[in-house]
Structure 1
Amino acid sequence: MQVTRPIGVFDSGIGGLTVLRSIIEKLPQYDYLYLGDNSRAPYGNRSFNTIHQYTWECVQWLFKQGCPLVILACNTASAKALRTIQQKDMLANYVDKKVLGVIRPTAEVIGDYSKSKQIGVLGTTGTIQSESYLLEIKKFFPDVEVHQQACPLWVPIIESGEYNKAGADYYVKLYIDEVLAKSAEIDTILLACTHYPLLQSKIEGHLPPLIKVVSQGQIVADSLADYLKRHTDIEENVTQTCTRRFFTTSDDTTDFDEHASVFFSSPVKSEYTSLTSDN
């Protein structure tokens, strides 16, 4: 079997596939390995320590599969685990590998989308409580005011395949109304969860027509392309055979494949991993 060194893409479930899809569209030449920790999803309402533990276990599994670079395509993991992983966990055994998140590249550009300098950020409870977007956006756009709104029921609705049904509209409108009530001048809404693009049409349907909705896939893809140009040592260590593999910690791969194919916009055939049993 041909040895590959793919770019690893991790999410607590299937939302990260929206990011992977954009990355492959931008950088199709590389090999990719996706891991969804579906058996323990969603992460959004879990504690800091639990999110860090789960994320680090998944990152180490991706390293063991040969990934020299891992993208945390999960805002909750990026908010609550990335810093500790980068500054502590990797120092002992993984100094030659890299882990990147989705919050910083988004924060670097999101202010450019807003004319009113009033942005609404929709995310999981974990992402919102971390205040990562408040802090990061302020670094790059000090004049931008950020209005956060946790949407704790959206990921369960999406992961259960209920996002296209009429019942989802109630919960979409509930959180949209709450964030808009925080400022009448919001002109940009950031979907700060990689699951949320599947609700984007419903979200836009409950917003005034002049408010822009921004998802992260293209932003992260553009940022990764720039990163690889600037870090040739990493780029040269990623194999380029256009291989794509998908893994889930759920033992029901058929269910994963059905939902994942919607997120990825093409058929997905996944493999099961227990994280601990694979070499």
Structure 2
Amino acid sequence: MGPIGIFDSGFGGLTVFKEIKALLPQYDYIYLGDNARVPYGTRSYETVYHYTLECVHHLFDKGCRLVILACNTASAKALRTIQQRDLPLYPDLRRVLGVIRPTTEIIDQFTVSKQVGILATSGTVNSQSYSIEIHKFFPTIEVYQEACPMWVPLVENNEIDSEGARYFVQQSIQRLLTRAPAIDTLILACTHYPLLLPLIKARIPSHIQVVSQGPIVAKSLADYLHRHPEMEALCTTNGTTQFFTTEKPENFDEKAALFYGAHVQAMQLELV
């Protein structure tokens, strides 16, 4: 038995973890941010897979039997390979889940026009993961994607209310809606983007719904544990949380509160 592992390339996964913790406070958690090697969004499939697998192994070593990849790029580029190639090598029960499927499998609940926009990093857009997954569940839904490469740096540097943030948010949304004016649903397919939500909502028509992943992933995890009692039984329930980062902890702690909404105190995980 052990805690539930939450992994992200940096800080963004804290927006998902905040929702998971609020919905399921009874479990123990370990959050690991690979801040020393961020960003993942521009890296190759092989590099993202290697980095993600290494961090998943670290979480397994710390006792986690269930790990959530709270990172869209890792979910897009590494999850399937880890599930199919690496998990079968373990003699005991281990599971790694992502954030893309929980969002895509219920997207029909949001869209009436059957036209959905995806705002994401270049890596997630290039992977086509959202298009593939949505069309798998709902073949009639049209998917339009827009890469927003400047959004993560703006959030990471706490420039979410700057003139630069307003410019780049406006630019990306305008490009997307010009291509597909009938979009009525926008998926924020990067865990950093909820911090830009006020800017996003101010620049879209009022009938467009904006879908953030945190609440969806939290509900999906609760449902997963209910449907898999054998895994739920392996998750300890003392209500504790530990934070780890591959960067200097003081750097992590300073920015993490912006994403998590509360002070954190992280420990450093040395990558060999």
TM over 0.5: yes
- 1:36 and 1:161 map into 2 onto residues whose CA distance is 18
Query: Is contact 1:121-1:191 (8 Å) kept?
Result: yes
Q: Is residue 126 of structure 1 aligned with residue 120 of structure 2?
A: no
- 1:152 and 1:267 map into 2 onto residues whose CA distance is 28
Question: Structure 2 matches for 1:172-211, cutoff 5 A?
Answer: 172-211=169-208
User: What secondary structure does 1:209 align onto?
Assistant: coil
Amino acid at match of 2:52: T
Partner of 2:260: 264
- 1:83 and 1:157 map into 2 onto residues whose CA distance is 30
- 1:235 and 1:120 map into 2 onto residues whose CA distance is 34
Question: Structure 2 matches for 1:1-150, cutoff 5 A?
Answer: 5-93=2-90, 95-150=92-147
Partner of 2:215: 218
Moved more, 162-171 or 131-140: 162-171
Moved more, 4-13 or 79-88: 4-13
Query: Is contact 1:122-1:192 (8 Å) kept?
Result: yes
Question: Structure 2 matches for 1:146-161, cutoff 5 A?
Answer: 146-161=143-158
**How much has 1:152 moved relative to structure 2?**
1.1
- 1:122 and 1:87 map into 2 onto residues whose CA distance is 28
What percent identity do the matched residue pairs reach?
55
Deviation track 1:40-85 (CA, whole Å, cap 9, x = no partner) reads 1110010011000100000000000000100000000000000000
Amino acid at match of 1:35: L
Deviation track 1:145-203 (CA, whole Å, cap 9, x = no partner) reads 11011111111221122223222111111111111111110111100011110111111
TM-score scaled to structure 1, two decimals?
0.95
- 1:94 and 1:52 map into 2 onto residues whose CA distance is 22
Alignment root-mean-square deviation, CA: 1.1
Partner of 1:168: 165
- 2:16 and 2:271 map into 1 onto residues whose CA distance is 22
Moved more, 262-271 or 7-16: 262-271
User: What secondary structure does 1:181 align onto?
Assistant: helix
- 2:159 and 2:37 map into 1 onto residues whose CA distance is 19
Contiguous gaps of at least 5 residues in structure 1:
none
- 2:223 and 2:180 map into 1 onto residues whose CA distance is 34
User: What secondary structure does 2:216 align onto?
Assistant: helix
Query: Is contact 1:113-1:188 (8 Å) kept?
Result: yes
TM-score scaled to structure 2, two decimals?
0.97
- 2:113 and 2:232 map into 1 onto residues whose CA distance is 38
- 1:166 and 1:209 map into 2 onto residues whose CA distance is 23
Number of corresponding residues: 272
- 2:80 and 2:226 map into 1 onto residues whose CA distance is 23
Amino acid at match of 1:98: R
**How much has 1:95 moved relative to structure 2?**
4.6
User: What secondary structure does 1:210 align onto?
Assistant: coil
Contiguous gaps of at least 5 residues in structure 2:
none
Moved more, 158-167 or 37-46: 158-167
| Cα distance change on mapping 1:244 and 1:177 into 2, 3 Å | same
Amino acid at match of 1:260: A
**How much has 1:275 moved relative to structure 2?**
3.3
Moved more, 73-82 or 166-175: 166-175
Amino acid at match of 1:90: L
